[in-house]
């Protein structure tokens, strides 16, 4: 069943459906086909469990912190500084990106904020 889920997700995304609707819709449809009505009886409990998970509450705040770091220009300034430092040696760009990613990862404390900062 996981292979079918992956193939259907891939096809729906290639057709052009939005990611949120594709992930939710395909999961609900294949959950119903696999487990029947029992799936819908357990679905509210799973949603409630995710909503009350205190670890996941911090994720949007870390992503927000990453966006604020990016909007302030911190990541760009760090990359420019590292480019001046390592620009002349072979593989200097790769070394710069790895070092900036490590420094931002250490300062933010979570990978998600670093990915948002480096990706924007």
- State residue 14's pLDDT score: 94
What digits encode the pLDDT tens for the residues 51-69? 888 877 777 887 787 778 7
**What whole-number distance in Å separates Cα of residue 116 and Cα of residue 70?**
8
Asked if residue 12 has pLDDT above 70, the reply is: yes
Question: What are the residue boundaries of the structural domains of the chain, listed by start?
Answer: 2-52, 55-119
Contacts of 59 (CB under 8 A, 6+ apart): 110, 112
**What whole-number distance in Å separates Cα of residue 75 and Cα of residue 79?**
6
- State residue 117's pLDDT score: 67
Closest CA to 22 of 33, 32, 11: 11
Answer whether 0.75 is exceeded by the pTM. no
DSSP the chain: -HHHHHHHHHHHHHHT--HHHHHHHHHHHHHHHHHTHHHHHHHHHHHHHHHT-HHHHHHHHHHHHHHHHHHTTHHHHHHHHHHHHHTTSTTHHHHHHHHHHHHHHHHHSSHHHHHHHHH-
What digits encode the pLDDT tens for the residues 72-119? 888 788 888 888 888 888 988 888 888 888 887 787 777 766 776 676
């Amino acid at each position: 069943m996981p292979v079918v889920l992956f193939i259907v997700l891939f096809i729906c995304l290639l057709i052009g459906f939005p990611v949120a609707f594709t992930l939710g819709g395909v999961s609900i449809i294949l959950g119903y086909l696999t487990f029947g009505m029992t799936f819908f009886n357990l679905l509210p409990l799973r949603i409630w469990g995710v909503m009350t998970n205190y670890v996941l509450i911090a994720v949007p705040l870390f992503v927000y912190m990453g966006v604020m770091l990016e909007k302030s220009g911190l990541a760009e300034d760090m990359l420019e500084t590292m480019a001046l430092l390592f620009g002349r040696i072979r593989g200097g760009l790769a070394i710069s990106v790895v070092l900036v990613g490590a420094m931002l990862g250490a300062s933010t404390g979570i990978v998600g904020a670093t990915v948002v900062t480096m990706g924007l």
